[in-house]
Amino acid sequence: MEAVTCFTNRIRPELGGEDSAVVGLRFAGGYLGTLMATQAAGTHFPGPGLSVFGTRGILTVGGPYGVVALHADGLPDRREVLVSEWKDGFAEMIGCFISAIEGEEVLSRPEYGREDLRIVLAAYRAAELGREVRLSEMEA
């Protein structure tokens, strides 16, 4: 990731802090990403939680076709469900934690979490400054 822009809003002050955000992400190679999040809607949105657009198809997480689905020409019905059922994410995390205590390899490395935090902090900085913030401006 190279740079982040961010706009935040407080629609429902009773929630505390910002409750809506739109984040623009700039990756190496000219790739772009967007993230829109809100706590202010008051209801669950039934659409996909994540969509990844590629040159040959679209990967969706959530939505009406399954937990993870690939959408592309050449597939039956132009889609293939890769994962059909949700797992209990909290139970999975606890299981991974127990496995790590027992000496098994950790699936999510601490440096991944640190980099995620650096991106979030860059987004907050971008919202505060009203401009794009390059990740190189943020301490590693």
What's the whole-model pTM score? Answer: 0.77
* Higher pLDDT pick, 87 / 53: 53
Nearest-angstrom CA–CA distance, 83 and 85: 6
Which tens digit of pLDDT belongs to each residue from 17-73? 899 999 999 999 999 999 998 888 877 666 667 889 999 999 999 878 878 999 999
Domains in the chain: boundaries: 3-45+87-136, 48-85
Q: Which is nearest to 50 in space by CA: 63, 36, 61, 38?
A: 61
pLDDT over 90 at 80, yes or no: yes
**What's residue 48's pLDDT?**
61
Fold classification of 3-45+87-136 is Dihydrodipicolinate Reductase; domain 2 (3.30.360)
